[in-house]
């Protein structure tokens, strides 16, 4: 996958997602050496092509984009690799009472205010999941999981702790040609149900050492596409010692730090009981509240805490397409996320893990557009290009990657997504982004480009053998489900037969 000499995407409806939300209804993008060399209307970019040297012009690959819209690659700063657990709901003790029927479902731990103690115990139990995977399983799952991100247009991900081995994620990111910040599932204790004090389960130093090993692994890759990101899986699973260690790590390497924070209505009460202080104030005391903090789902802060977050210029992130599947009320519960975005806090989009681990930035854009507008009784509260900015430029800013990616601007890396706009959905709609958000989705992504390299074409991954990757995943996830979740063999063959 060497750099092509140059790539011209010509004649598409270009959305730049720059600060002014510039669009070019008949536009082009020129990439040279992996960087955007020109972007604008067709004629302007044609002039830039004409100014190239004869060798560069001769090696130029041209994509006719006249039936597509052209977007920056999606940036998903809050994602978890959890596909290894994908078949677990079909195990005998999971998803009670019946995995096949939804009519008897009971509310989960995120619902009705949130069962913070139950979540804390679940997150603690997941700390050992990655170590229970065979190396080959970890790699197969990581590769398929990231392949699904790539196919759906995510060109950059931020891992906020995965149920997989970080090294497997680094290797898969490299192989696929993606861009990503890899983390560890970081926690050193829990607020256990039935207990009144935070219970330590491992040394903070052990978690920090693991993170340092990931940093060293990413440092061996010189593509500039792979980074490390310190994170805590939940502040209910983080001792003060670990919090201070993570703050020092992030400060030392000038990295963002991400955690789920003020995410649930009951969080402040429960956490104050265990730590004597609310989660946002605690982050401030531990040195984690600054302009490199990615505060995920952060909707349930009090007014004083909102002032602290604003003064620190922390970055907010939400995962709207996930909330309905888990019963969270991060948007409707307080309406704070958009209120704070209007007050100057940058708000980006993501897919999170459990609710929607498969792609999903297009669905997150739809949900943020429609839900905020409904909440504020205002069809201009979030317009489609605002949703696009949240899914691209603002996510890149949260990851401190915005000098290189997040918008289509000269000098940035050529990370792009092309979506076909030549069917009935777009016939009577002058703004294709609106049509895409309303009636399109992840599976409509046609072409994905990272660093000027075409990684997905006509919806198919070009950089790895997709069928083989999928087969390896099915084998791995079947083994994991049988061994770790006791899913009966008969159930597994019934499930996997559909994917043969
Ligand atoms: Zn999350």
CB atoms within 10 A of CB 271: 25
Ordered domains of the chain (ranges, CATH): 6-73+409-461 (2.30.40.10), 74-398 (3.20.20.140)
User: Cis peptide before 97, with omega less than 30 degrees from 0?
Assistant: yes
Ligand 1 centre to CA of 77 (Å) is 10
Put simply, whether the predicted model's pTM sits higher than 0.85 gets the answer yes
Ligand 1 centre to CA of 79 (Å) is 6
d(CA 438, CA 432): 10
Question: Ion ligand 1 — residues with CB under 5 Å?
Answer: 352
d(CA 231, CA 243): 9
Q: Which residues of 40-57 are buried (b: 16+ CB within 10 A; e: fewer)?
A: bebeebbebbeebeeeee
d(CA 306, CA 295): 12
Do residues 157 and 166 touch, judged by C-beta distance below 8 A? no
pLDDT of the residue at 355: 56
Please report, for residues 149, 241, 322, 341, 485, the alpha-carbon distance to residue 361 in angstroms, rounded to integers and kept in the order given: 9, 35, 11, 19, 29
pLDDT of the residue at 2: 47
Beta strands in 325-461 (DSSP E): 347-349, 416-420, 445-450, 453-457, 460-461
pLDDT of the residue at 146: 96
What element of type H or E holds 38? Answer: strand 35-41
Ligand 1 centre to CA of 38 (Å) is 36
Ligand 1 centre to CA of 169 (Å) is 17
Ligand 1 centre to CA of 4 (Å) is 36
Ligand 1 centre to CA of 126 (Å) is 13
Ligand 1 centre to CA of 297 (Å) is 8
CB atoms within 10 A of CB 467: 10
pLDDT of the residue at 29: 98
Below-70 pLDDT ranges, the chain: 1-4, 92-97, 354-357, 500
């Amino acid at each position: 996958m060497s750099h092509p000499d140059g790539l011209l995407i010509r004649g598409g409806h270009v959305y730049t997602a720059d600060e002014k939300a510039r669009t070019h209804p008949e536009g082009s993008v020129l990439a040279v050496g992996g960087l955007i060399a020109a972007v604008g209307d067709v004629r302007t970019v044609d002039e830039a092509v004409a100014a190239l040297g004869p060798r560069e012009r001769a090696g130029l690959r041209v994509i006719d984009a006249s039936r597509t819209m052209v977007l920056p690659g999606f940036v998903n700063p809050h994602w978890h690799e959890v596909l290894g657990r994908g078949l677990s709901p079909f195990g005998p003790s999971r998803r009670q009472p019946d995995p096949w029927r939804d009519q008897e479902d009971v509310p989960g731990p995120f619902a009705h205010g949130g069962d913070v103690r139950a979540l804390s115990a679940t997150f603690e139990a997941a700390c050992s999941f990655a170590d229970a995977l065979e190396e080959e399983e970890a790699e197969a799952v990581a590769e398929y999981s990231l392949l699904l991100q790539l196919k759906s247009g995510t060109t950059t991900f931020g891992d906020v702790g995965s149920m997989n081995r970080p090294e497997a994620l680094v290797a898969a990111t490299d192989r696929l040609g993606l861009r990503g910040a890899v983390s560890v599932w970081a926690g050193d204790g829990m607020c256990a149900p039935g207990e009144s004090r935070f219970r330590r389960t491992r040394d903070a130093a052990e978690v920090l050492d693991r993170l340092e090993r990931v940093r060293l692994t990413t440092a061996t890759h010189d593509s500039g596409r792979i980074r490390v990101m310190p994170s805590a899986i939940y502040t209910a699973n983080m001792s003060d010692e670990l919090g201070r260690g993570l703050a020092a790590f992030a400060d030392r390497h000038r990295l963002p730090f991400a955690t789920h924070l003020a995410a649930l209505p009951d969080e402040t009460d429960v956490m104050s009981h265990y730590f004597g202080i609310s989660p946002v104030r605690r982050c401030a005391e531990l040195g984690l509240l600054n302009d490199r903090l990615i505060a995920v789902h952060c909707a349930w802060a009090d007014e004083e805490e909102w002032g602290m977050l604003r003064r620190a210029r922390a970055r907010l992130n939400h995962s709207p397409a996930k909330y309905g599947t888990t019963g969270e009320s991060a948007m409707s519960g307080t309406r704070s996320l958009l209120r704070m975005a209007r007050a100057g806090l940058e708000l980006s989009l993501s897919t999170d893990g459990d609710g929607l681990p498969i792609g999903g930035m297009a669905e997150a854009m739809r949900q943020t557009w429609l839900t905020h507008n409904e909440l504020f009784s205002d069809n201009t509260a979030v317009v489609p290009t605002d949703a696009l900015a949240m899914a691209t430029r603002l996510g890149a800013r949260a990851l401190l990657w915005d000098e290189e990616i997040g918008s289509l601007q000269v000098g940035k890396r050529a990370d792009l997504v092309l979506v076909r706009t030549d069917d009935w959905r777009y016939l009577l709609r002058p703004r294709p982004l609106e049509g895409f958000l309303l009636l399109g989705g992840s599976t409509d992504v046609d072409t994905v480009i990272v660093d000027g390299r075409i990684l997905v074409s006509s919806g198919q991954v070009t950089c790895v053998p997709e069928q083989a990757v999928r087969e390896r995943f099915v084998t791995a996830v079947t083994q994991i489900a049988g061994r770790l979740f006791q899913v009966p063999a008969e159930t597994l063959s019934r499930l996997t037969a559909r994917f043969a």
